[in-house]
Chain A
Amino acid sequence: MTEMATAPTAPATTGTPLVEMRKINVAFGGVHAVRNVTIDLFPGEVVGLVGGNGAGKSTLTKVLSGARPADSGEVLIEGQKAEISNPRDAKAYGIECIYQTLALADNLDAPANLFLGRELTTRIGNLDDDRMEDATRKVMGRLNPNFKRFTTAVRSLSGGQRQAVAIARAVYFNAKILIMDEPTAALGPAETAQVRNLVRQLKADGIGILLISHDIHDVYDLADRVSVMYHGEIVDTVNKHDVSTDDILGMIILGKKPGEVTQKEMEALELRG
């Protein structure tokens, strides 16, 4: 039912999208955080969602991950209207989210975090910690073979290790749709490279990835298409190959499509850059 991409860099953007978010509106505290936003995501595609602080990127993804309901608009998963009112619903649709804050319970160990909210249990409903540790060892062995600390609280792990736990949580449950909110913000160069490789690998597996970042180069490197948000609205969604990083930067800062930017504004931008 899904058209798998033959070449990982050029996924099909025809047919039924994996995700369609139509005319989404979210307002809170007198702020219209997301205005009439429509975006889509195809299997095996990485869509970069960029914008300045407060542009509405995180709020939009919270609608998809079930963390915050939309005031209006609809979400379609594989062409079917989806009711997502809490994180549990989202997970049932195969939507996993890696939050900027990682959303780990620092006092629990890696297996407990990986299975948080959907623990493996024995026949009589007891937590099956051994089976969870075993599964965690297997999935972490793939993601980060150096990871050895399975029984210590994740509080005492390094930034990269904590990130690996958060990613493992999304990967283990066979996400179809993955939301990554600033996945490399807290990481060193080596760990950033690891995350990039992982994104490419997941993409090749046919997973649709919504990548939020304010690092233009991250996005330009990994994304197939880029959606730019400005003050809660989508400025434009462009194919990466049709634009330059400067064009994207212009959209982020000025909130205008490349053709609409005046010479004067462009010069001001270059001065800033």
Chain B
Amino acid sequence: MTTVAGTAPEESAPNAAGRIGALIRSTEVDLRQFGMVLALIVIWIGLGIANPTILQPVNFITFSVQASGIAVLATGMVLVIVSRNIDLSVGAVVGFIGMFYAEFMAHFLPENLGVPIGHPLVWIVALGCGVLLGIVIGAYQGFLIAYVGIPSFVVTLSGLFLFRGLIWQLSGGTTVAPNDATFNLIGGGPQGSLGGILAWGLGIVLAAAVLGILWNARRTRRKYGFPLRPMWAEVAIAVVSVGAIFAGVGVANSYHWPPGLATQYAQAHGISEANGPLQIESGIPIPLLIVMGVTIFMTFLATRRRYGRDVYAYGGNPDAAALAGINTRWTIMKTFMLMGILCAISAAIASARLNGGTLDLGTGYELYVIAAAVIGGTTFEGGVGSITGAILGALVMQSIQYGLSFLGFNSPQINMILAVVLILVVGLDAWNRRRAR
């Protein structure tokens, strides 16, 4: 039976619910992730009903910047958990590398190399060294796990203690500041954002990329004579994706620089505000750009490269992976090194937002990151989980957190609500799996 291109297969679903299910299935969209997008929409509608002021663009921007540090780490945690491991050290490593950035810029560079803060290369050198440090930390933990054979739970628990301790050793027990101003743009803020025009440009590029990928996928499937998705489903996916991209850019751009900052900018650049205050579109914050870049890169790694295939194969059946000739130890070690790089990126975002390194930076991150991955559909049996799912998981969790705190809930109350959400989501998964069997 072959499906002719452009014609929808005949469906004779017995009832409306079945028909809707069949419709969604024929788009080949991941139902679980579709459900999470719906949940996100429901959460924000609920928050909007409770307090309409939360639906201002500034809140979406602040919220997404707050979620970015967790989201970056969650993409790596997916691969760690998929390969039947866990990383409890990410928060401590983020704190340690965050402190390293601050020490490096505030003390090491000016005092030892005579390079003052503000030198144009400072930010990239600091970031590069941080990433290197992340790789070394990941290699150390990954080696103990993959080659020495110590369980990852133990190694990374030890890592949690070790790096929390090293933060104090490195800083002498104090907050270290300031960072380089260019480096701080990594944390977002009005200046640390892609302005309005660039944001639209990026939106167009992303939309074109999505359409290109969809078109190319259909073309190769037709070339090989595989069953094709019905045309209407292709169009629906294209419209929704492109619509979501432009809606996102639109929201980001509808937030303008605060008047004081805009006036300063106008005076500095000799722009007259005689015709009313200067309106500068904020555009997309840099941390959000980083999350998008990391998501695309990690999805590519997980689904289009041998490394990703090896990780998932190992997670599904470690023996089968080894018998297939996969170098499973090196695969595991690489996963922890990748996690180290992501810690360095997340640390840059966090420390840039604070303009320095604090002793408690990253505290508790590991738990939010694991929760985001699990809410996103990653299972502890191994082999199952997706990068985009984890991003959605991070968004769901941060939406609840940000929204409820906006509504005046205190953080112990929010924690209890998150506890319920976590159990509900994973319980629903377990129920679904049992039913499917």
Residues of A within 8 A of B (CB): 65, 67, 86-88, 91, 97, 99, 101-108, 112, 116-119, 121, 125-127, 130-131, 133-134
* A-B complex: 9 closest residue pairs judged by Cβ atoms: A117-B324, A107-B316, A105-B316, A107-B383, A88-B325, A103-B320, A116-B324, A117-B325, A105-B313
Instruction: Looking at the assembled complex, report how far the CB atom of B435 sits from the nearest CB atom of chain A, in whole angstroms.
Output: 13
Instruction: Looking at the assembled complex, report how far the CB atom of A181 sits from the nearest CB atom of chain B, in whole angstroms.
Output: 11
Beyond A87-B325, A130-B221, A130-B226, is A104–B317 a contact (Cβ under 8 Å)?
Answer: yes
Q: Which of A99, A117, A126 contacts B305 (CB 8 A)?
A: A126
Which residues of B, 289-309, contact A by the 8 Å Cβ criterion? 303-306, 309
Q: Which of B306, B316, B317, B321 contacts A119 (CB 8 A)?
A: B306
Q: Which of B309, B317, B322, B323 contacts A106 (CB 8 A)?
A: B317
What's the interface size class on B, roughly? 20 to 34
Beyond A106-B316, A108-B313, A126-B305, is A116–B321 a contact (Cβ under 8 Å)?
Answer: yes
Instruction: Looking at the assembled complex, report how far the CB atom of A173 sits from the nearest CB atom of chain B, in whole angstroms.
Output: 11
B319 at the interface (CB under 8 A from A): yes
Instruction: Looking at the assembled complex, report how far the CB atom of A62 sits from the nearest CB atom of chain B, in whole angstroms.
Output: 9
Beyond A91-B325, A116-B326, A130-B220, is A121–B306 a contact (Cβ under 8 Å)?
Answer: yes
Cβ-closest chain A residue relative to B28 = A151
B104 at the interface (CB under 8 A from A): no
Beyond A87-B324, A101-B319, A116-B313, is A106–B383 a contact (Cβ under 8 Å)?
Answer: yes
B224 at the interface (CB under 8 A from A): yes
CA distance A104 to B383 in the complex (A): 12
Given A103-B324, A108-B313, A117-B325, 4 new contacts (CB under 8 A): A107-B312, A118-B325, A119-B306, A125-B306
B315 at the interface (CB under 8 A from A): yes
- B224 & A130 in contact (Cβ 8 Å cutoff): yes
| Cβ contacts A to B, 26 pairs, < 8 Å | A86-B325, A87-B323, A91-B325, A101-B320, A103-B323, A104-B320, A105-B320, A105-B383, A106-B317, A106-B383, A107-B312, A107-B316, A107-B382, A107-B383, A112-B309, A116-B313, A116-B324, A117-B325, A119-B309, A125-B305, A125-B306, A126-B304, A127-B303, A127-B309, A130-B223, A134-B224
CA distance A128 to B221 in the complex (A): 12
B384 at the interface (CB under 8 A from A): yes
CA distance A107 to B385 in the complex (A): 10
Cβ-closest chain B residue relative to A65 = B323
CA distance A121 to B319 in the complex (A): 24
Residues of B within 8 A of A (CB): 220-221, 223-224, 226, 303-306, 309, 312-313, 315-317, 319-326, 382-384
Q: Which of B224, B312, B315, B319 contacts A133 (CB 8 A)?
A: B224
Contacts of A88 in B (CB 8 A): 325
Beyond A130-B224, A130-B226, is A97–B325 a contact (Cβ under 8 Å)?
Answer: no
Cβ-closest chain B residue relative to A131 = B224
CA distance A101 to B320 in the complex (A): 9
- A67 & B312 in contact (Cβ 8 Å cutoff): no
CA distance A87 to B325 in the complex (A): 5
- A108 & B224 in contact (Cβ 8 Å cutoff): no
CA distance A65 to B306 in the complex (A): 23
- B322 & A127 in contact (Cβ 8 Å cutoff): no
Contacts of B305 in A (CB 8 A): 125-127
- B323 & A107 in contact (Cβ 8 Å cutoff): no
Contacts of B224 in A (CB 8 A): 130-131, 133-134
CA distance A99 to B309 in the complex (A): 21
Q: Which of B226, B315, B319, B322 contacts A107 (CB 8 A)?
A: B315
CA distance A243 to B315 in the complex (A): 47
Instruction: Looking at the assembled complex, report how far the CB atom of A69 sits from the nearest CB atom of chain B, in whole angstroms.
Output: 13
Cβ-closest chain B residue relative to A150 = B226
- A103 & B306 in contact (Cβ 8 Å cutoff): no
Q: Which of B226, B313, B382, B384 contacts A112 (CB 8 A)?
A: B313
- B317 & A103 in contact (Cβ 8 Å cutoff): yes
Instruction: Looking at the assembled complex, report how far the CB atom of B29 sits from the nearest CB atom of chain A, in whole angstroms.
Output: 14
Contacts of B324 in A (CB 8 A): 87, 103, 116-118
Contacts of A119 in B (CB 8 A): 306, 309
Contacts of B313 in A (CB 8 A): 105, 108, 112, 116-117
Cβ-closest chain B residue relative to A135 = B224
Cβ-closest chain A residue relative to B321 = A105
CA distance A118 to B303 in the complex (A): 15
- A127 & B323 in contact (Cβ 8 Å cutoff): no
Contacts of B317 in A (CB 8 A): 103-107
CA distance A88 to B324 in the complex (A): 7
Cβ-closest chain B residue relative to A148 = B1
CA distance A127 to B309 in the complex (A): 9
CA distance A101 to B324 in the complex (A): 13
Contacts of A97 in B (CB 8 A): 323
Contacts of A121 in B (CB 8 A): 306
Instruction: Looking at the assembled complex, report how far the CB atom of B198 sits from the nearest CB atom of chain A, in whole angstroms.
Output: 28
- A127 & B304 in contact (Cβ 8 Å cutoff): yes
CA distance A248 to B4 in the complex (A): 57
